[in-house]
Structure 1
Amino acid sequence: MSAGEREQYGFLTAADRRLEYRWIEPTAPDRPALVFLHEGLGSIAQWKAFPDGVAEATGCGVFIYSRYGFGQSDPLVEPRHVDYLSHEALVVLPAVLAARGIVDPILIGHSDGATIALLYASDPRWSTRAIVIEAPHVFVEDAGLTEI
Protein backbone atom coordinates (compact mmCIF):
# COMPACT_ATOMS: atom_id res chain seq x y z
CA MET A 1 0.00 0.00 0.00
CA SER A 2 1.47 3.38 -1.00
CA ALA A 3 1.72 6.41 1.28
CA GLY A 4 -1.09 8.03 -0.71
CA GLU A 5 -3.40 5.14 0.16
CA ARG A 6 -2.52 5.39 3.87
CA GLU A 7 -2.97 9.14 4.29
CA GLN A 8 -5.55 11.46 5.74
CA TYR A 9 -5.96 15.22 5.68
CA GLY A 10 -7.84 17.22 8.24
CA PHE A 11 -7.86 19.94 10.83
CA LEU A 12 -7.19 19.83 14.55
CA THR A 13 -7.42 22.43 17.28
CA ALA A 14 -4.32 23.13 19.34
CA ALA A 15 -3.50 26.19 21.45
CA ASP A 16 -6.83 27.72 20.39
CA ARG A 17 -5.99 27.59 16.69
CA ARG A 18 -7.37 25.48 13.84
CA LEU A 19 -4.40 23.83 12.13
CA GLU A 20 -4.35 21.77 8.95
CA TYR A 21 -2.56 18.44 9.07
CA ARG A 22 -1.66 15.45 6.97
CA TRP A 23 -1.04 11.99 8.42
CA ILE A 24 0.45 8.96 6.69
CA GLU A 25 -0.14 5.72 8.58
CA PRO A 26 2.94 3.60 9.37
CA THR A 27 3.29 0.28 7.60
CA ALA A 28 4.08 -1.46 10.90
CA PRO A 29 2.65 -0.68 14.36
CA ASP A 30 6.07 -0.52 16.06
CA ARG A 31 7.38 2.28 13.85
CA PRO A 32 7.75 5.77 15.37
CA ALA A 33 5.98 8.87 14.14
CA LEU A 34 8.04 11.33 12.13
CA VAL A 35 6.84 14.91 12.65
CA PHE A 36 7.78 17.39 9.93
CA LEU A 37 8.16 21.04 11.00
CA HIS A 38 8.24 23.52 8.13
CA GLU A 39 10.40 26.58 7.60
CA GLY A 40 9.38 30.19 8.16
CA LEU A 41 7.31 30.65 5.00
CA GLY A 42 6.30 27.03 4.54
CA SER A 43 3.30 24.79 5.03
CA ILE A 44 2.28 21.22 4.34
CA ALA A 45 2.34 21.98 0.61
CA GLN A 46 5.97 23.17 0.68
CA TRP A 47 7.18 19.69 1.65
CA LYS A 48 5.79 18.36 -1.68
CA ALA A 49 6.42 14.59 -2.06
CA PHE A 50 9.39 14.41 0.32
CA PRO A 51 7.36 13.09 3.32
CA ASP A 52 5.81 10.41 1.08
CA GLY A 53 9.26 9.18 0.11
CA VAL A 54 10.41 9.14 3.72
CA ALA A 55 7.26 7.24 4.76
CA GLU A 56 7.83 4.66 2.03
CA ALA A 57 11.54 4.26 2.83
CA THR A 58 11.13 3.97 6.61
CA GLY A 59 7.68 2.50 7.14
CA CYS A 60 7.16 5.17 9.81
CA GLY A 61 4.04 7.18 10.36
CA VAL A 62 4.45 10.72 9.06
CA PHE A 63 2.67 13.73 10.54
CA ILE A 64 2.88 17.15 8.90
CA TYR A 65 1.02 20.28 9.91
CA SER A 66 0.91 23.92 8.92
CA ARG A 67 1.53 26.25 11.83
CA TYR A 68 -0.80 29.12 12.68
CA GLY A 69 -0.70 31.68 9.89
CA PHE A 70 0.47 29.22 7.23
CA GLY A 71 -1.14 26.99 4.62
CA GLN A 72 -4.80 26.32 5.31
CA SER A 73 -4.43 26.82 9.08
CA ASP A 74 -6.07 29.80 10.77
CA PRO A 75 -4.75 33.04 9.29
CA LEU A 76 -2.42 35.19 11.34
CA VAL A 77 -4.36 38.18 12.70
CA GLU A 78 -1.79 39.82 14.98
CA PRO A 79 1.94 40.57 14.84
CA ARG A 80 4.24 37.74 15.87
CA HIS A 81 5.99 38.18 19.19
CA VAL A 82 9.77 37.92 19.35
CA ASP A 83 9.43 34.61 21.24
CA TYR A 84 7.02 32.98 18.77
CA LEU A 85 9.38 30.05 18.07
CA SER A 86 9.54 29.24 21.78
CA HIS A 87 5.74 29.45 21.95
CA GLU A 88 5.45 27.09 18.98
CA ALA A 89 7.90 24.63 20.57
CA LEU A 90 6.75 24.71 24.19
CA VAL A 91 3.01 25.38 23.87
CA VAL A 92 1.72 24.60 20.38
CA LEU A 93 3.76 21.53 19.41
CA PRO A 94 2.97 19.67 22.66
CA ALA A 95 -0.74 20.44 22.12
CA VAL A 96 -0.56 19.25 18.50
CA LEU A 97 1.16 16.00 19.47
CA ALA A 98 -1.30 15.40 22.31
CA ALA A 99 -4.25 16.01 19.98
CA ARG A 100 -2.93 13.30 17.66
CA GLY A 101 -1.75 10.93 20.39
CA ILE A 102 1.86 11.10 19.23
CA VAL A 103 4.47 10.29 21.87
CA ASP A 104 8.25 10.00 21.56
CA PRO A 105 8.37 11.44 18.02
CA ILE A 106 11.25 11.90 15.65
CA LEU A 107 11.14 15.61 14.78
CA ILE A 108 12.30 16.68 11.31
CA GLY A 109 12.65 20.43 11.00
CA HIS A 110 13.95 22.99 8.55
CA SER A 111 14.92 26.56 9.54
CA ASP A 112 12.16 27.80 11.90
CA GLY A 113 10.98 24.19 12.16
CA ALA A 114 14.49 23.07 13.13
CA THR A 115 14.59 25.69 15.88
CA ILE A 116 11.21 24.50 17.14
CA ALA A 117 12.51 20.91 17.16
CA LEU A 118 15.60 21.91 19.19
CA LEU A 119 13.57 23.89 21.71
CA TYR A 120 10.99 21.11 22.13
CA ALA A 121 13.65 18.39 22.49
CA SER A 122 15.54 20.44 25.07
CA ASP A 123 12.55 20.57 27.41
CA PRO A 124 12.59 17.66 29.90
CA ARG A 125 8.78 17.55 30.06
CA TRP A 126 8.57 15.72 26.74
CA SER A 127 10.18 12.67 25.24
CA THR A 128 11.76 12.93 21.82
CA ARG A 129 13.22 9.86 20.13
CA ALA A 130 15.43 11.90 17.80
CA ILE A 131 15.65 15.13 15.86
CA VAL A 132 16.75 15.73 12.30
CA ILE A 133 17.39 19.42 11.71
CA GLU A 134 18.57 21.64 8.90
CA ALA A 135 19.51 25.31 9.32
CA PRO A 136 18.16 26.01 12.83
CA HIS A 137 18.38 29.52 14.24
CA VAL A 138 20.83 29.09 17.10
CA PHE A 139 22.57 32.47 17.08
CA VAL A 140 22.05 35.90 15.57
CA GLU A 141 24.56 36.92 12.91
CA ASP A 142 25.83 40.48 12.64
CA ALA A 143 24.45 40.68 9.10
CA GLY A 144 20.99 39.80 10.40
CA LEU A 145 21.16 42.42 13.13
CA THR A 146 22.23 45.01 10.57
CA GLU A 147 19.25 44.16 8.36
CA ILE A 148 16.83 44.24 11.28
Structure 2
Amino acid sequence: ATRIELQRFSAARGGDRVALTGPASVTIADGAAVIDGLSLAAGTGRVTVQGRAGQTLDLKIGIRALPLALARIASPGLALSGTLDGDADLHGSAERPEGRYALTVSRLVAPETRKAGLPPIDAKASGTLGDGSASLDGRVSAGRGA
Protein backbone atom coordinates (compact mmCIF):
# COMPACT_ATOMS: atom_id res chain seq x y z
CA ALA A 1 0.00 0.00 0.00
CA THR A 2 1.10 3.55 -0.69
CA ARG A 3 0.00 6.22 1.79
CA ILE A 4 0.12 9.89 0.83
CA GLU A 5 -0.07 12.36 3.70
CA LEU A 6 -1.30 15.81 2.72
CA GLN A 7 -0.29 18.44 5.26
CA ARG A 8 -0.70 21.58 3.15
CA PHE A 9 -2.08 22.40 -0.27
CA SER A 10 -3.29 25.56 -1.94
CA ALA A 11 -3.98 26.79 -5.45
CA ALA A 12 -4.64 30.37 -6.43
CA ARG A 13 -5.24 32.49 -9.47
CA GLY A 14 -5.79 36.19 -9.02
CA GLY A 15 -7.86 36.68 -5.87
CA ASP A 16 -9.33 33.16 -5.95
CA ARG A 17 -7.87 30.50 -3.66
CA VAL A 18 -8.48 26.86 -2.74
CA ALA A 19 -6.67 25.36 0.27
CA LEU A 20 -6.61 22.21 2.36
CA THR A 21 -8.22 22.93 5.75
CA GLY A 22 -6.15 20.37 7.65
CA PRO A 23 -4.19 17.15 7.27
CA ALA A 24 -5.66 14.48 4.99
CA SER A 25 -4.47 11.16 3.63
CA VAL A 26 -4.93 9.01 0.57
CA THR A 27 -4.00 5.33 0.80
CA ILE A 28 -3.65 3.48 -2.49
CA ALA A 29 -3.87 -0.32 -2.43
CA ASP A 30 -5.42 -3.06 -4.54
CA GLY A 31 -6.54 -0.65 -7.27
CA ALA A 32 -8.42 1.63 -4.89
CA ALA A 33 -7.84 4.91 -3.09
CA VAL A 34 -9.04 5.39 0.47
CA ILE A 35 -9.52 9.11 1.16
CA ASP A 36 -9.53 10.23 4.77
CA GLY A 37 -10.21 13.74 6.04
CA LEU A 38 -10.03 15.59 2.71
CA SER A 39 -11.51 19.04 3.25
CA LEU A 40 -10.87 22.04 1.01
CA ALA A 41 -11.76 25.63 1.80
CA ALA A 42 -12.64 27.53 -1.33
CA GLY A 43 -13.53 31.16 -0.78
CA THR A 44 -16.31 31.07 1.82
CA GLY A 45 -17.18 27.48 0.94
CA ARG A 46 -15.97 23.99 1.71
CA VAL A 47 -15.72 20.69 -0.15
CA THR A 48 -15.25 17.41 1.74
CA VAL A 49 -14.54 13.92 0.40
CA GLN A 50 -14.35 10.78 2.52
CA GLY A 51 -14.29 7.10 1.62
CA ARG A 52 -13.09 4.62 -0.97
CA ALA A 53 -12.86 4.95 -4.75
CA GLY A 54 -11.81 2.12 -7.06
CA GLN A 55 -13.64 -0.76 -8.70
CA THR A 56 -16.05 -0.42 -5.78
CA LEU A 57 -17.21 2.86 -4.31
CA ASP A 58 -18.03 3.97 -0.80
CA LEU A 59 -17.80 7.76 -1.04
CA LYS A 60 -19.37 10.69 0.75
CA ILE A 61 -18.98 14.11 -0.84
CA GLY A 62 -20.16 17.37 0.70
CA ILE A 63 -20.20 20.87 -0.78
CA ARG A 64 -21.13 23.88 1.36
CA ALA A 65 -21.53 27.47 0.11
CA LEU A 66 -18.96 27.00 -2.67
CA PRO A 67 -18.65 30.28 -4.61
CA LEU A 68 -19.20 29.66 -8.32
CA ALA A 69 -16.75 32.50 -8.99
CA LEU A 70 -13.98 30.00 -8.19
CA ALA A 71 -14.50 28.51 -11.66
CA ARG A 72 -12.12 31.30 -12.74
CA ILE A 73 -9.24 29.24 -11.32
CA ALA A 74 -9.77 26.67 -14.09
CA SER A 75 -11.13 29.06 -16.73
CA PRO A 76 -10.16 32.71 -16.17
CA GLY A 77 -12.79 34.01 -18.61
CA LEU A 78 -15.67 32.33 -16.77
CA ALA A 79 -17.35 35.11 -14.78
CA LEU A 80 -19.96 33.32 -12.66
CA SER A 81 -21.47 34.39 -9.37
CA GLY A 82 -23.64 32.47 -6.94
CA THR A 83 -23.03 29.47 -4.70
CA LEU A 84 -23.22 25.69 -4.87
CA ASP A 85 -24.28 23.33 -2.08
CA GLY A 86 -24.55 19.59 -2.40
CA ASP A 87 -24.18 16.09 -1.07
CA ALA A 88 -23.53 12.75 -2.69
CA ASP A 89 -23.38 9.29 -1.14
CA LEU A 90 -22.09 6.76 -3.67
CA HIS A 91 -21.48 3.03 -3.28
CA GLY A 92 -21.45 -0.17 -5.29
CA SER A 93 -19.36 -0.82 -8.38
CA ALA A 94 -17.71 2.03 -10.27
CA GLU A 95 -19.32 0.71 -13.47
CA ARG A 96 -22.83 0.74 -11.97
CA PRO A 97 -22.76 3.05 -8.95
CA GLU A 98 -25.65 3.36 -6.56
CA GLY A 99 -26.54 6.15 -4.20
CA ARG A 100 -28.14 9.53 -3.93
CA TYR A 101 -27.23 13.11 -4.68
CA ALA A 102 -28.61 16.59 -4.11
CA LEU A 103 -27.35 19.89 -5.55
CA THR A 104 -28.50 23.46 -5.00
CA VAL A 105 -27.30 26.46 -7.00
CA SER A 106 -28.23 29.79 -5.44
CA ARG A 107 -28.28 33.18 -7.15
CA LEU A 108 -26.43 32.08 -10.30
CA VAL A 109 -25.46 34.91 -12.63
CA ALA A 110 -23.42 34.35 -15.79
CA PRO A 111 -22.36 36.92 -18.38
CA GLU A 112 -25.02 35.58 -20.75
CA THR A 113 -27.84 35.89 -18.20
CA ARG A 114 -26.64 39.37 -17.23
CA LYS A 115 -26.62 40.49 -20.90
CA ALA A 116 -30.13 39.08 -21.35
CA GLY A 117 -31.35 41.07 -18.32
CA LEU A 118 -32.35 37.92 -16.43
CA PRO A 119 -32.52 37.87 -12.63
CA PRO A 120 -30.29 35.50 -10.63
CA ILE A 121 -31.22 31.85 -11.09
CA ASP A 122 -31.85 29.33 -8.31
CA ALA A 123 -31.81 25.61 -9.12
CA LYS A 124 -32.23 22.41 -7.14
CA ALA A 125 -31.66 18.87 -8.33
CA SER A 126 -31.74 15.59 -6.47
CA GLY A 127 -31.94 11.99 -7.38
CA THR A 128 -30.66 8.47 -7.08
CA LEU A 129 -28.36 6.17 -8.99
CA GLY A 130 -29.08 2.46 -9.22
CA ASP A 131 -29.65 -0.46 -11.58
CA GLY A 132 -27.64 1.31 -14.29
CA SER A 133 -29.93 4.34 -14.36
CA ALA A 134 -30.26 7.73 -12.71
CA SER A 135 -33.30 9.62 -11.48
CA LEU A 136 -33.52 13.40 -11.44
CA ASP A 137 -35.98 15.70 -9.74
CA GLY A 138 -35.23 19.35 -10.35
CA ARG A 139 -36.52 22.87 -10.18
CA VAL A 140 -35.17 26.07 -11.70
CA SER A 141 -36.50 29.49 -10.79
CA ALA A 142 -35.61 33.10 -11.49
CA GLY A 143 -37.07 36.38 -10.35
CA ARG A 144 -39.84 37.30 -7.95
CA GLY A 145 -42.52 34.77 -7.20
CA ALA A 146 -40.51 31.99 -8.81
TM-score normalised per structure 1: 0.30
Greater relative CO (CA pairs within 8 A, separation 6+) = 1
TM-score normalised per structure 2: 0.31
Higher helix share: 1
Higher strand share: 2
